[in-house]
Amino acid sequence: MEILEVLDPVAQQRGVLDARAVNKRPSTLEGKKVGLLWSGTANGDVALRSIEGMLKQHTPSVETNFYLGGLPAPTAVLEKATDESDVVIGATAD
Amino acid sequence: MVEIEKKGTPAVLLVSGRFEHDAIASARAFGMPGVRYVVVPWLYRNLDRERAVQQTEAAFETLVGELTAEVEAPVANAKLQPTQVERFEGSNYADAFQVMNREFLNRDWGDGFPLLPATQDAVEKMLKGTCLPPDHVVCDLPPGYGLATVEKIAINSVMAGASPEHMPLIIGALKAVSQMDPDRVKGFLMSTSSHASMLLVNGPIAKELDINSKGACMGPGRQNRANLVVGRAYTLCLKNIGYWYPGEMDMDTIGSVRKFSVCIAENEDASPWEPFHVEQGYKAGDSVVTVMATKGEVDVADQGNNTAEGLLKTIAYNSIFSQWDLVRPGRTAKGSAMETIVLVPPDIARPAGEAGFTKKGAKEFIHMHAQFSLGKMVHYYPLQPETIPAHWRWLLKLSEKELHDIWMPVRESADRYRLICVGADRAKPIIIPSMPVRPESVNVDQYRAR
């Protein structure tokens, strides 16, 4: 019987070593500002506009703002979206 | 969405089609493994409106739930672990070798071809190829941002069949890709396009290591042994350190053989122009490796032109394929313009130089002659009033015929062309469309063994 011992080639990831938790959610969207962040890819806007319509139908007190980002979204757009929103919904389209 | 969460705002991402694994891998890579997402079955981009709305409506309740659900406790950070030893048994060495390869390839730790065993002894020899200590972190390697220690680079280099003297080039190439614009490098390595790296070697180290710059320097063969193993080592590092695994962070639609290994040297002796690394700000005597992004290639055959103008026009007229950057939503963003790499064989570079064309002049000539129909260029990315930059909105008023009748340069400016003298004698250039990520170069002399 022959035993071959080799070293593991896979590295650990910085994101796993320095992982952070997601933010606490609101218990309801009543009266919240919802940011809709579009990457600019085709039909992502259709999806987000559809969500916007359903949000307003289900929770009329919701306020929505639509943002055109990009791939990736420019920092200024991300900052504007986070400054103006309680929660953000994104769609990449692919 | 990770960036939004990092700024303190709860977020949820609508993920389409086959991108769930990518969402999970990206969340881990970018430091927020618990990021919330909702999956819909089909990629939105080429759906008709009705189906796009239909699948969104079906996901609505889950999406609201992810925005209002309680979050789990903060994640416990993992600790940096020493490299593990893997043991494989066989009835003899060849059998154990096969068992190791089967297992490694099942884990997608290779490129499909047999991997050499990275034994402790082989890795120690590989580590002698550089002055850097094994635990030195060269970079956090994109797209998954694994810690590229010299030891992990050495392990993957052994598996690729590289030799210790190749280490400075391999380390330099990894450092170079890590220095690319952090936003652009994600598009480069995580795209649904067949983006691949090309390593370009300049300076004395090319000859020292026998990196082929002449005939058939891309592709298989004994003339390319050094090219191939350096490129392969880079690719294995990109996978096992950078987590560039297909279907997880590399979301390529079809793929390309360029992803195996592309490493060439510039044929500096045959070039009338300053070499590429000098354009990048290095001295001619520096040994430099550059990482360039490629997305396809076309072999062009000039069958009889013998003037500089004629030969350069052949390059220009064949540079119009692939994608263009006009009118894309991101076009106005920093560094968003596409590039074209031209591998210019001596039989074109030499007469162009003799006719007085500087490299800059040749680029300008190509740029002015590489024109195409605007209507055809914008066709692949249908014009949308919401995304078109203000200075291009006049296009929305034109008919299809009017759009087709406008001809424009296919690149933003002459400096978007990268001319590199490569290959044997014969006026057959290779034209490689690149993308909006600039080539990054690193002086590898700093990594040589002392």
Domain A31-91 is of which CATH architecture? 3-Layer(aba) Sandwich (3.40)
pTM above 0.80, yes or no: yes
> A74 vs chain B: nearest CA distance in angstroms?
8
> A15 vs chain B: nearest CA distance in angstroms?
4
The CA distance from A37 to B409, in Å, is: 33
**Contact between chains at B186 and A72 (C-beta distance less than 8 A):** yes
> A30 vs chain B: nearest CA distance in angstroms?
11
> B165 vs chain A: nearest CA distance in angstroms?
20
* Spatial CA neighbour of B329 closest among B390, B398, B415: B390
DSSP states of B251-307 as a string?
--SS--GGGT--EEE--GGG-SS--HHHHTT--TTS-EEEEEEE---EE----S--S
> Under 8 Å CB-to-CB from A74, ≥6 apart: which residues?
B333
CB-based contact, A57 to chain B, within 8 Å: no
* Spatial CA neighbour of B240 closest among B158, B297, B167, B179: B158
* Spatial CA neighbour of B342 closest among B372, B373, B321, B371: B321
CB-based contact, A19 to chain B, within 8 Å: yes
Three-state DSSP at B405 gives coil
Reported as half-sphere exposure (CB side, CA atoms, 13 A), residue B159 has a value of: 30
User: What confidence tier does B45 reach under pLDDT thresholds 50, 70, 90?
Assistant: confident
CB-based contact, B243 to chain A, within 8 Å: yes
User: What confidence tier does B326 reach under pLDDT thresholds 50, 70, 90?
Assistant: low
Q: Which residues of A touch B8 (CB under 8 A)?
A: 23, 82
**Contact between chains at B74 and A21 (C-beta distance less than 8 A):** yes
**Contact between chains at B92 and A73 (C-beta distance less than 8 A):** no
Q: Are B312 and B366 in contact (CB under 8 A)?
A: yes
DSSP states of B24-88 as a string?
HHHHHHTT-TT-EEEEESS-STTS-HHHHHHHHHHHHHHHHHHHHSPPPPPPPPPPP-PPPEEEE
The answer to whether residue B203 scores a pLDDT higher than 60 is yes
CB-based contact, B387 to chain A, within 8 Å: yes
Domain ranges of chain A: 31-91
The answer to whether residue B210 scores a pLDDT higher than 80 is yes
CB-based contact, B89 to chain A, within 8 Å: yes
What tens digit of pLDDT does each residue of A22-67 get? Answer: 999 999 999 999 999 998 888 899 999 999 999 999 999 999 999 9
- Block residue for tokens 């009017």: B402
> B60 vs chain A: nearest CA distance in angstroms?
7
Q: Is the ipTM of this complex over 0.85?
A: yes
pLDDT score, position B383? 82
The CA distance from B439 to B418, in Å, is: 9
- Block residue for tokens 């499909």: B112
The CA distance from B261 to B423, in Å, is: 17
Q: What is the mean pLDDT of residues B378-389?
A: 82
What tens digit of pLDDT does each residue of A4-22 get? Answer: 999 999 999 999 999 999 9
Mutate to test the interface with B, among A18, A30, A46, A94 (most CBs of B within 10 A): A94
* Spatial CA neighbour of B212 closest among B236, B228, B195, B235: B228
What tens digit of pLDDT does each residue of B298-310 get? Answer: 999 999 999 999 9
Q: Are B85 and B151 in contact (CB under 8 A)?
A: no
CB-based contact, A64 to chain B, within 8 Å: no
Q: What is the mean pLDDT of chain B?
A: 93
The answer to whether residue B330 scores a pLDDT higher than 50 is no
The answer to whether residue B16 scores a pLDDT higher than 90 is no
